[in-house]
């Protein structure tokens, strides 16, 4: 039988994997992918608690998180495309050198 604890363990592992991806990767696209992984880990935890407590509130929060994640991906990919055109690289260390 799969319990809420199992879902929360998987959620914690996904969140940790996303955090490690953010801290170790230098590619902007990989950092965005790691952020999405962390969003999905939080969504899994919300759904697990919503199921455990028989409440719809967690599912509503997940809906809004998915909407925010979609907007984040759109803006992030647009910025990544512009940076790759201008700098010819997506290395986060070189992007940090970009000043106004």
pLDDT tens figures, 24-76: 998 999 999 999 999 999 999 999 999 999 999 999 999 999 999 999 999 98
Asked if 46 and 58 touch (Cβ cutoff 8 Å), the reply is yes
* pTM greater than 0.85: yes
Tell whether the model's pLDDT for residue 13 goes beyond 90.
yes
Asked if 73 and 36 touch (Cβ cutoff 8 Å), the reply is yes
DSSP summary character for residue 38: H
Query: Which helix H or strand E contains 20, and what residues bound it?
Result: helix 4-24
Tell whether the model's pLDDT for residue 100 goes beyond 70.
no
**Nearest by Cα to 21 from 45, 41, 3:** 41
Between CA 71 and CA 73 the distance in angstroms is 5
């Amino acid at each position: 039988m799969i319990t809420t604890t199992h879902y929360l363990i998987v959620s914690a592992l996904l969140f940790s994997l996303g955090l490690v991806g953010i801290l170790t990767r230098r590619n902007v696209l990989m950092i965005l992918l790691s952020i999405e992984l962390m969003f999905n880990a939080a969504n899994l935890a919300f759904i697990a608690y919503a199921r455990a407590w028989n409440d719809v509130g967690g599912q509503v929060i997940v809906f809004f998180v998915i909407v925010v994640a979609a907007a984040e991906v759109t803006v992030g990919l647009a910025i990544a495309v512009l940076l790759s055109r201008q700098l010819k690289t997506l290395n986060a260390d070189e992007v940090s050198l970009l000043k106004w």
